[in-house]
Amino acid sequence: MTSIASAMPRAAILGGPAAISAPQGEANRWPLITEEDEAAVLDVLRSGELSIHPVVNELEADYRAWLGSKHAIAHNNGTSALHGAMHAVGIGPGDEVIVPSATWWASVMPIVHCGGVPVFAESERDSLGLDPASIEERITDRTKAIVVVHLFGMPSKMNEIMAIARRHDLKVIEDASHAHGANYHGSPIGTIGDVAVFSMQANKLCPSAEGGMLLTDDDGIAERVIRYGHYERLLGMTTSPNRRFAATGYGLKSRMSPLSAAVARVQLRHLKARNAVRNRNCIRVSRELLTLGLQPFLAPAGSERVYFEFLISCPEGTTGVPVEVFAKALQAEGALVGAPRYPLLHQQPMFTEGTWAEIARIPSPTKVYDPMDLPATIAGNATLLKLPTFPQAGDDLLDQYVQAFRKVLHHSAELPRDTA
Ligand SMILES: Cc1ncc(COP(=O)(O)O)c(C=O)c1O
Give the position, in ligand 1's atom list, of the atom nearest the Cα of 203: 14
Q: Is 76 part of any domain?
A: yes
Whether 175 is in the pocket of ligand 1, judged by its Cβ within 6 Å, is yes
Q: Is 135 part of any domain?
A: yes
Q: What are the angstrom distances between the C-alpha of 90 and each of 144, 171, 356?
A: 8, 9, 19
Ligand 1 centroid–CA 349 distance in Å is 20
Q: Is 416 part of any domain?
A: no
Tell me what pLDDT residue 81 has.
98
Best probe residue, ligand 1, of 79, 82, 83 (max atoms within 8 Å of C-beta): 79
pLDDT digits (tens, 9 = 90+) for 145-185: 999 999 999 999 999 999 999 999 999 999 999 999 999 99
Ligand 1 centroid–CA 295 distance in Å is 26
CATH number at residue 126: 3.40.640.10
* 25-34, 217-226, 245-254, 358-367: least confident range: 358-367
**Start-to-end Cα distance in the chain:** 40
Whether 207 is in the pocket of ligand 1, judged by its Cβ within 6 Å, is no
Total domains in the chain come to 1
Q: Which of 178, 162, 172 is nearest to 340 (CA)?
A: 178
Confidence of residue 7 (pLDDT cuts 50, 70, 90): confident
Domain limits for position 126: 35-269
Q: Is 202 part of any domain?
A: yes
Q: Is 391 part of any domain?
A: no
Tell me what pLDDT residue 5 has.
47
Mean pLDDT for 39-50 is 98
Range list of β-strands (E), 314-411: 384-387
Tell me what pLDDT residue 4 has.
47
Burial class (CB in 10 A: 0-12, 13-18, 19+), 336: middle
Ligand 1 centroid–CA 377 distance in Å is 20
Q: Is 44 part of any domain?
A: yes
Answering whether pTM is above 0.75, one says: yes
Whether 79 is in the pocket of ligand 1, judged by its Cβ within 6 Å, is yes
Q: Is 12 part of any domain?
A: no
Q: Is 75 part of any domain?
A: yes
Confidence of residue 419 (pLDDT cuts 50, 70, 90): confident
Ligand 1 centroid–CA 118 distance in Å is 17
Q: Are 103 and 91 spatial neighbours (Cβ–Cβ below 8 Å)?
A: no
Give the position, in ligand 1's atom list, of the atom nearest the Cα of 107: 3
Ligand 1 centroid–CA 323 distance in Å is 26
